[in-house]
Amino acid sequence: MDPKAELAYSLPRSFLSKEIITLVCDHVAEDEDSGTLASLARTSRAFRDPALDALWRRIPGAIALLRLLPPDLWEVQRQPIFGTGGGFYVMTFRRPVRPDDFARLQVFAKRVKEVQTKQPHNRVTSALIHPVAWVELGQAIEGPLLPNLTSLRHMEVSAKRPFDNYIWPVDFLAGPKLEYVALAMRASLTDPEPAARIFSTLSSRAPDVKKIDISIVQISKMAYLPCLGVEIGGLRSLTTFKAPSLELLPEAVEHLASLPNLRSVAIMTSPAKIIGNSAFPYTGERIGRFPALVKVRIYTNCLIWCTALMKTISSPFLKELLIENRSCSSKAPVLEALFAAVSQLPCAATLHILTIFSGDDHACLHPGPTIVSATAMLPFAALTALAFVRINGWCEVLLDDTVLSTLARAWPALQSLDMHFPQSHPELQFPLPVSRPLVTIKGLAIFARACPLLERLCLPFDAWVVPELDPAPDGRHRQRPTEIPSCDSALQHRDVGDSDPRPYESDLVPFTILPGGE
């Protein structure tokens, strides 16, 4: 008997099952051992397909697949970059593409499930595909190039795009089974709507995509700021949508609000540009809008719009909320209205992390930051699950002992309270228009004892922690307090803003570590 046949006969039949062979190939693929997988594919008929599936499941880019085209069809050439000593490699076609050129490629293309590509322009093995070649390829092939693709990651890492009319891989790689898309690209100097084309392609060719993570870097002030509107209308299965560098138009936000399974969003929008010409598309009624949100990040230039948006969120599962105003700091009534809207969200028992950035300190308006009264914080007492609270930017909430005591009773799980704003504007002259400190050591100790998990406390600039007695003009206390309340909290670090802690150091040592201390 042939030795190979004898070995096969002696092995238990279960060892030759497709499940066991697939498990072996998947284990080898985890080690990225392509040589072993190629050997297994040539070993026997039983191993051929599982080994090839594992070998081609994840590829570093479409260029590896296109090299399976007939060698007389394509070539790779080096193109210099004008005005520099560098260059990049480009794949082009020597002759027209024929349907029979895809026979060998399609055998392996159907096995590809993931594409993770970067674009270094200095290696032949990572050559770019010329836009003309992409067009010729799309005209010759029917349907998507990779029909079973489920994950697409594409990153442009070069400093300069070689083609202004470069065609994104999603244009030809998107298929009906695509579920995850992560793109990192540079804004175009000539194409005002690259993102619109990408999302139009996804809407028509991959309507069941579930997760989208896209970022576009604006490398020049002359580059267009990408906008996104009705192009995402065909995407109804989204669970994650992250596009913090795209300008979302109202119709795009409206579409996201209607999705039943959307759990995580990171969006950027500038409604202040259109407020004067169109009414808010938000009525404040919670009727099935954003019903499943868990994590929200909003970057905007208008907290009035954001306040209206908060009133429409109906999800009771929200755990993390970030609101960042990328414009000048809003006025106190606007911030107070936003605080009230956030506190009324139907997620009082689930909201764990809350971050509100009121405005850019580099775009501040003199004479100082926006001053918000302590009572504006009281509505947050309704959010009983908060563990991390951060409210900063070019604003200041004037906390006092009474409000701190109320919040302490409402936030038993609090671990961090950060209400410090960035360094002052260099042209700003002190003192700031605030009367006097409002938080005392006694109030802080009561707050800390009521929050046993508290690890970080960061107070606004003018709410210095001082003894109950006023300091003298020379910075010393007229009389030291007779007793400093003890604190059993796990408090490890607290920042006292820009104030000089030396006059109060002896009073604070029993329960805190001052800035700069270890």
Instruction: Please write down the HEC assignment for all residues of 409-455.
Output: HHCCCCCEEECCCCCCCCCCCCCCCCCCCCCEHHHHHHHHHHCCCCC
Res. 509: pLDDT tops 60: no
Helix (H, G, I), strand (E, B) or coil at 98: coil
Mean pLDDT within 161-169: 52
- Would you state the pLDDT for residue 120? 47
Nearest alpha-carbon partner for 154 in 135, 137, 173: 173
Pairing of strands 151-155, 128-129: unpaired
Q: Give the whole-angstrom CA distance, residue 131 versus residue 164.
A: 10
Mean pLDDT within 155-172: 56
pLDDT: which is higher, 438 or 447: 447
pLDDT tens digits for range 95-132 = 888 888 888 888 888 899 998 876 544 344 556 777 77
Q: Give the whole-angstrom CA distance, residue 310 versus residue 346.
A: 10
The residues, any chain, with a CB within 8 Å of residue 314's CB and separated by 6 or more, are 286, 287, 288, 289, 290, 291, 346
What percent of the chain has a predicted confidence (pLDDT) above 70? 68
pLDDT tens digits for range 303-323 = 888 888 898 899 999 999 999
What residue segments make up the domains of the chain, in order of their start? 17-56, 58-148
Task: Identify the band that residue 425 occupies on the pLDDT scale cut at 50, 70 and 90.
Answer: very low
pLDDT: which is higher, 258 or 170: 258
Q: Give CA 83 to chain center in angstroms.
A: 37
- Would you state the pLDDT for residue 349? 92
Pairing of strands 114-118, 151-155: parallel
